[in-house]
Amino acid sequence: MLDRTIPFYDLILRCDAYPLRQVQLPAGYTIRPYKQGLETDWARLECSVGDFASQEEAERYFLETYAAKNEPERLLFLLDGAGRSVGSCICWTDARRGKDVNSLHWLVVEEAHQGKGLGRALCTEAMNRFYLRGPAPIYLHTQPWSWKAVLLYVSLGFRLQKTDAFAAYTNQYNEAMRALQSVLSPEQMQKLRAASDA
């Protein structure tokens, strides 16, 4: 579960080069693109981590922002052996300085299924799709309360940005790093500092 007692600050990450990688899923799990009806699952997943006030609000946001664009291959769902959605990730496009850039959005894995490498598998599938669409870089926006995801992103080749931003996001690198320092070990903080760009 996300620790929302950690202060919220905008944290921007960017990946400039990414090779195609094999997606490794535990037995019984599959990744599939969006089909009509999965917006309800997405809303349930996002509400479970507190990103929306209601299921209806989340579902409406997904339909208007993503499903309406009719690009189902960019909307990824992680299914368990019973065919139930237990995770999701979106491969999207946002603006940066007047140009479109690839952006990773809304990575979520249901709490009961965490710790199995499923977030890594979803990100790997998303990054592979970005690779095939081209070109790099790939951006993402996150916050300190998603510190486990931040460590995952860095392990996949993303670098924290001290000043760069995209879409309407601000960059609060210094504040975010101070907040992360309260929850991460000195070794983990050193990894983040080493993976930070000007």
Question: pLDDT tens, 121-147?
Answer: 999 999 999 998 877 899 999 999 999
Structure tokens at 27: 């037995």
* Consecutive H or E run containing 44: helix 38-48
Structural domain harbouring 172 = 11-197
For position 1, what pLDDT does the model report? 55
Kindly report the pTM of this predicted structure: 0.94
What CATH number is given to the structural domain containing 115? 3.40.630.30
Q: Return d(Cα 148, Cα 151) in angstroms, integer.
A: 5
Judged by DSSP in three states, 6 sits in coil
Taking residue 68's Cβ as centre, other Cβ atoms within 10 Å add up to 9
Q: Give start and end residues of each alpha helix (H) in 31-100.
A: 38-48, 55-65
Could you tell me if residue 143 is inside a domain?
yes
Give bridge partners of residue 161 from the DSSP assignment: 197
How many domains does the chain divide into? 1
In this prediction, the residues of the chain whose per-residue pLDDT falls under 70 are 1, 198
Could you tell me if residue 119 is inside a domain?
yes
Note whether 103 and 138 are within 8 A (CB): yes
For position 2, what pLDDT does the model report? 72
Q: Return d(Cα 126, Cα 122) in angstroms, integer.
A: 6
Could you tell me if residue 32 is inside a domain?
yes
Could you tell me if residue 122 is inside a domain?
yes
Note whether 108 and 45 are within 8 A (CB): yes
**Residues with Cβ < 8 Å from 125, sequence gap 6 or more?**
23, 31, 76, 89
For position 14, what pLDDT does the model report? 97
For position 135, what pLDDT does the model report? 75
| N-term to C-term CA, the chain | 31
Could you tell me if residue 43 is inside a domain?
yes
Q: Return d(Cα 136, Cα 17) in angstroms, integer.
A: 6
